[in-house]
Structure 1
Amino acid sequence: MYYRIFRICFSRYFHSKTRLPQLDFTKPTSDRLKKLSLNEPSSTDNQSLLKVSLRGQCLFGLYPIELALKTKRRQFYQLFLSETSNENRPVLENIQQLAEQLSIPIKYVNTHALDRLSFDRPHQGVCLDCSSLPIQHIEQQTNIQQNSTKISVDLCLVKIHDPMNLGGIIRTAHFFGIDRIILTRGTCQPSPVASKASSGALELMSISTCNDLKTYLNVLHEQKNIAVVCGTHKGNMPLQILRLDDMKKNCLNSNLQRIIVLIGNEHEGIPEEITEMCHYNVCIQPNAESEISSLNASVACALFLYHITAQINI
């Protein structure tokens, strides 16, 4: 009995003395911010960190902010610039001019404040408090305008979880002239991290969400002039033999209007029930001696988009 009482008291004492702060290491915090969370001494003066409540989300980096200000798709609340920024940089000067034209308040702060605002991501001396990007639901956009002179390409992302991957994919999509990005349920949101990883291309792309991909594909099949291409490492057709001419022949009256490219993440791929609904299940074949069976989603996406758009643009 005494042993049991001693054991309970010791257990309570031990847990009360060794309980650690609950840190969320999924956030992009630096060693300095981790030390602050642990109340450890740091060379940074805590008073120098900006204490501000953002009205929206914090966009950071030169090109994401410049393109956001140019496209005016967001609402803008306040621009934060480094006190030691080089005013001779053309991009930075353009950002300041755009902010002044749009009557956006400008606040000059130290580097530590910008680090805090951007969660220690590479902000390049500028942050912007702004609203999120407008997102449309794809379910209300199934009707496609007929244009016999152009084949449009949509990129549908299936459960892409990493915002860095999302940013890289969007940058590639804009580079190759993709018309629209479709984010399915389970794919990460177009965050400031994704915008920075895209070098600002996220600010230029049309973004839509799809809550029910299976239903959406069923609606597309009824239109008869759309080709759905699924990219997966288990595909039964090598990418190099996927030909635009064959896709045109398989469409009603050879009147192909739009190509939908589905890309999934490298861990789970695309569900089998979705791949069965695609006209083409395409793979990128590895070298015969490769010990790796699949590519990073961003890299695989770049190869798919280049192969398809290169044939359209001939």
Structure 2
Amino acid sequence: MILGRNPVIEALRNEREMEKLLVAKGAEGSIKKIVGMAKEKHIPMTLVDKVTLDRLAEGQPHQGVVAYVSSYSYCDVEDILDIAKERQEPPFIMILDNLEDPHNLGAIMRTGEACGVHGIIIPKRRAVGITDVVAKASAGAVEYMACAKVSNIAQTIESLKEKGVWVYACHMDGETYYKTDLKGPAAIVIGSEGAGISRLVREKCDFAVSIPMVGKITSLNASNAAAILMCEVRKQRDAGRV
């Protein structure tokens, strides 16, 4: 399921295969736009009570609309590199090492799409995948962001390095991120919420970059740290074009 008005609108715009749409009775505003788009695409719609949507959403905000869609189609790592080639840009990839919170994954996809990330790599096991919660948190970015699931993050890093991609670990012992050259082919590794980046994955990375912390809190939420680094890559790349 996809929950919420913006995620559903983006799914419709992106021609996502949609099985049916449930709309709350009496819903107004952008719901009318969603209904119009669905009618144009001949997508079955049903008007339901809000309590029905509440039950289906299991506590997640749905804003009066729920869409049933086909399962998310994961890509291969090569597909992500091909996207960079098509855009004639050096690869810009996010690698998430055992991230568990769907809200973090959704937020990273949202920021990544805005910053020009070509794709995200996640592990097949012991990590969150693309769910309706992720789709909601991404505010529709899941429809545009390529995501590859791999069996072994460390081996994937080795493969990327062989293809000329520099790999940067987000780690407290690294060089300050804004003093690091991030303009070339880059993959940034973000660790899990609790344990951070695993030892083996950290050892495979070319460099480590850190975010200076001057307060009493010694670490940032994974999606916040990722956002800072993604925006820095975007800033450096844009400055290099001037």
Once the two structures are TM-superposed, the CA of residue 173 in structure 1 deviates from its matched residue by: 0.7
* Equivalent of residue 82 in structure 1, options 11, 14, 24: 24
Give 2:44's aligned amino acid. P
- In the alignment, what sits opposite 2:129? 189
Confirm or deny that 1:297 pairs with 2:240.
no
Residue-by-residue CA offset, 1:104-125 (whole Å, 9 max, x unaligned): 1110011101101111211111
- In the alignment, what sits opposite 1:126? 65
- In the alignment, what sits opposite 1:243? 181
* Equivalent of residue 204 in structure 2, options 273, 277, 280: 277
- In the alignment, what sits opposite 2:233? 308
Query: Could you state the TM-score of these two structures normalised by the residue count of structure 2?
Result: 0.90
Q: CA, structure 1 residues 236+214, in 2 after alignment: closer, same or farther (shift >3 Å)?
A: same
- In the alignment, what sits opposite 2:140? 200
Stretches of structure 1 that go unaligned for 5 or more consecutive residues are 1-57, 246-255
Confirm or deny that 1:67 pairs with 2:7.
no
**1:83–1:108 CA contact under 8 A, matched in 2:** yes
- In the alignment, what sits opposite 1:41? none
Q: CA, structure 1 residues 142+118, in 2 after alignment: closer, same or farther (shift >3 Å)?
A: closer
Give 1:243's aligned amino acid. D
Once the two structures are TM-superposed, the CA of residue 83 in structure 1 deviates from its matched residue by: 0.8
**1:142–1:219 CA contact under 8 A, matched in 2:** no
Stretches of structure 2 that go unaligned for 5 or more consecutive residues are none
Q: CA, structure 1 residues 122+142, in 2 after alignment: closer, same or farther (shift >3 Å)?
A: closer
Aligned residues: 237
Written as runs of structure 1 = structure 2, the 5 A alignment for 1:11-50 is none
Q: CA, structure 1 residues 173+217, in 2 after alignment: closer, same or farther (shift >3 Å)?
A: same
Q: CA RMSD in A?
A: 2.0
Q: CA, structure 1 residues 148+134, in 2 after alignment: closer, same or farther (shift >3 Å)?
A: closer
The percent identity for this pair of structures is 27
* Equivalent of residue 263 in structure 1, options 183, 190, 214: 190
**1:84–1:110 CA contact under 8 A, matched in 2:** no
Query: Could you state the TM-score of these two structures normalised by the residue count of structure 1?
Result: 0.71
Q: Larger Rg: 1 or 2? A: 1
Once the two structures are TM-superposed, the CA of residue 142 in structure 1 deviates from its matched residue by: 8.2
Give 1:212's aligned amino acid. N
Once the two structures are TM-superposed, the CA of residue 240 in structure 1 deviates from its matched residue by: 2.4
Give 1:215's aligned amino acid. Q
Give 2:211's aligned amino acid. I
Structure 2 residue matching 1:127: 3-state secondary structure: strand
Taking the aligned partners of 2:93 and 2:87, their CA distance within structure 1 comes to 17
Written as runs of structure 1 = structure 2, the 5 A alignment for 1:89-100 is 89=29, 91-100=30-39
Q: Please identify runs of 4+ aligned residues in structure 1 that moved more than 6 A.
A: none
Residue-by-residue CA offset, 1:154-192 (whole Å, 9 max, x unaligned): 111111101111111111111111111111232201111
Residue-by-residue CA offset, 1:119-169 (whole Å, 9 max, x unaligned): 12111111111222111233x558657589522301111111011111111
